[in-house]
Structure 1
Amino acid sequence: MNSLKQEKEALDDLAMELELAEEDQPVLYKIGEAFLHLPYHRAMKRLERDQAQVDEEIAKLTEVVDQCECDMKELKVALYGRFGNAINLDE
C-alpha cells in the first residue's frame, strides 16, 4: 500500500512538471525500468491512464483493509464473549 501511495505521489509530481513543460518538446517518461522519449500529448494520456490505474489499485486495497478490520472487530467481540477477560486482544 505504501509503495502505491509513493507511486501516486510521483505521478502527481510528474503531472505538475508536465504542466510546466513545453508541448513541442518530447518528454522522458518511465515505463517499467526504462525511460522513453514520448511526445507531450502521448505522455499526458499515459500519465492519466497510470494515475487512474494506481487510484483503482489503492481503492481496491483500501476496501480489502477495511473488510479485514471489520472482520477482526467481529472476531474480537466473539472471542471476548467466549473467553471474557481471560484473553487480551488489544493492539
Structure 2
Amino acid sequence: MRTPEALSCHDGDSSDRCRGGEPAEDAAPVVTLSMREAALGEPGASERLIAAVTDAVAGVLGESVRERVAVLLVGMPPGRSGVGGEVS
C-alpha cells in the first residue's frame, strides 16, 4: 500500500517520487526472477539469490548502482506453470 506521502505530489515538486514518466539520470535496474515456488522454500535461497543477482548487476554496470538494484523473486505454485506445453 502506498503511503500518503507517496501519493501527494504538488506542482513544482521535483523529488524523485513526483517525477512521473521522466527517465532518471542514474541507472536503477530491476531484475525479476520467476521460478517454481518450491525452489524458494530452501533455507536461505531468497537471500542468496538476491545477493548473487545484485553482485552480478553491480559487476556489469558498476558498483555505483549496487544500492539501487531491485531484485524481485516470483514463486509459481504447482499447476501454474508449464514446460513444452505441459502443465508442471
TM-score, L = length of structure 1: 0.29
- Structure with a larger share of its residues in helix: 1
- Structure with a larger share of its residues in strand: 2
